[in-house]
């Protein structure tokens, strides 16, 4: 993963200080071009632990769909993430769906959260989470973190 920029550092600090669990995904040009990324062990374990998805029970070549919400300051978009086991080697792969292109540009870093068996995706390269959570204005990010904080 590349070095973090200033907003990413502030967002990561915010998330860590509040004890939120998340995983970072660097959406490189290659990942965006191929519309797929490797679901690393940490993500696979978390998906299994939360009962969201278990790659170990999935046959190679099989695809599963999981409800996913992409968050921004103005809206949240409900999509389905594709969780896939490669047919030849059985590698665990994942994709957030084509709507993600409206929220990211190459090399952006997204925070991935899991709550109630739903995957939430937030572009921490572009969105000031501190502002979203402290503004008087209602927004999907503020609402999400309030729910996440209360359990």
pLDDT tens for the 151 residues of the chain, in order: 789 999 999 999 999 999 999 999 999 999 999 999 999 999 999 999 999 999 999 988 889 999 999 999 999 999 999 999 988 777 999 999 999 999 999 999 999 999 999 999 999 999 999 999 999 999 999 999 999 887 6
Concatenating the DSSP letter of every residue in 7-35 gives HHHHHHHHHHHTT---EEEEE-HHHHHHT
CB 37 within 8 A of CB 109: no
Q: Which CATH architecture has domain 6-150?
A: Beta Barrel (2.40)
Token pair 């080697």 is found at: 89
Q: Look up residue 92 and give its two tokens.
A: 């665990």
CA distance 148 to 21: 10
Q: Tell whether pTM > 0.75.
A: yes
Task: List the structure tokens of 99.
Answer: 């709507």
Question: Contact, 120 vs 129, CB < 8 A?
Answer: no
Outline where DSSP puts E strands in 72-130. 76-85, 92-95, 108-115, 118-123
Tokens 């609402």: give the residue.
143
């Amino acid at each position: 993963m590349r070095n973090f920029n200033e907003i990413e550092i502030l967002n990561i600090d915010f998330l860590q200080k509040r004890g939120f669990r998340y995983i970072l995904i660097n959406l490189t040009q290659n990942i965006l071009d191929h519309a797929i990324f490797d679901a690393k062990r940490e993500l696979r374990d978390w998906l299994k632990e939360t009962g969201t998805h278990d790659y170990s029970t999935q046959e190679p070549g099989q695809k599963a769909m999981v409800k996913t919400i992409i968050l921004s300051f103005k809206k949240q978009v409900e999509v389905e993430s594709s969780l896939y086991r490669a047919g030849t080697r059985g590698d665990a792969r994942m994709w957030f769906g084509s709507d993600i292109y409206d929220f990211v540009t190459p090399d952006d870093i997204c925070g991935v959260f899991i709550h109630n068996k739903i995957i939430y995706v937030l572009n921490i390269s572009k969105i000031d989470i501190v502002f979203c959570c402290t503004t008087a204005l209602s927004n999907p990010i503020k609402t999400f973190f309030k729910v996440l904080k209360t359990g």
